[in-house]
Amino acid sequence: EDDEEEEQQQQQQQPQVERMGEAAEVQARQREVAGLLQHGKHREAVKAALQNPPLGSHDQAVKDMNTEVVLNAICSASDSEIDKIVADLYHNSSPDLCDTLVKYIYKGLADRKYCGVLLKWHASAVNMAGLGPVVRAMTDRKTV
């Protein structure tokens, strides 16, 4: 209870500048991902979309916008590319990206969007990275 009160106070005091900074970052990411998708570069698009998620942000609009960007990138990839993209994320990128990917998969499933596709991504991610990212998606208090 103490923590919640502290968070609320922090939320009120969080300067407008910070929130605008987050929103600007997400919009820039949105443009970058859209550009990559136009050129059919699905792997780079997913990677770019998963960078620096607004974890634990107090601005719900920013989080929603970022979720939209990530899910858009994820769902544009064709089924045959899923395994390759996940393998690339797991082997060639920082391990946090796999954790972030699984967090957004669960976010999308919770919002009941694109469930069929997300379940395919889920299977691929667990196959590649194990159950650790799933556990971290469940326990991390700073949500996407």
Partner 1 sequence: RAAAGGARGAGTGPASGRAARRRARARGTERTRSAMALRIVNAKHGITCHAWSPDRKRIAVCENSEKVIIYLNADQDKVNWIKEHELAAHDLVVSAIDWSPVHNKIVTCSHDRNAFVWTYSQGTWKASMAILRINRAALDVKWSPDGSKFAVASGAKVVPVCHYEGANDWWISKMIKKHKSTVTSVAWHPSSQLLATGSTDFRCRVFSAFINDIDHSTNTVFGDTGRTRFGDLLLEFEACNGWVEDVAWSPSGSTLAYIGHDSSVNFVSMANGSPQVQTLKSRDLPNSKVFFLSDNVVVAAGHSFNPEIYQNASGSWSFLGNLNQKGSGAGGMAVSRTYERFGKKVGSTERTWSHSRDDWAER
**Contact pattern for partner 1 over residues 54 through 93, marking x by CB under 8 A:** ----------------------------------------
Q: Which of 5, 52, 141, 144 binds partner 1 (CB under 8 A)?
A: 141
CB under 8 Å to 94, separation ≥6 — which residues? none
Q: Is 39 in the site for partner 1 (CB under 8 A)?
A: no
Output the smallest distance, CB 61 to partner 1, in A: 25
Output the smallest distance, CB 140 to partner 1, in A: 5
Q: Which long-range contacts (CB under 8 A, 24 or more apart) does 95-100 make?
A: 95/129, 97/47, 97/50, 97/51, 98/125, 98/128, 98/129, 98/133, 99/132, 99/133, 99/136, 99/137, 100/50, 100/53, 100/144
Output the smallest distance, CB 71 to partner 1, in A: 23
Output the smallest distance, CB 16 to partner 1, in A: 28
DSSP 58-123: S-HHHHHHHHHHHHHHHHHS-HHHHHHHHHHHHHHS-HHHHHHHHHHHHHHHHTT-SHHHHHHHHH
Q: Is 131 in the site for partner 1 (CB under 8 A)?
A: yes
Q: Is 129 in the site for partner 1 (CB under 8 A)?
A: yes
Q: Is 130 in the site for partner 1 (CB under 8 A)?
A: yes
Residues of this chain that interact with partner 1 (CB under 8 A) are 2, 95, 99, 129-133, 135-136, 139-142
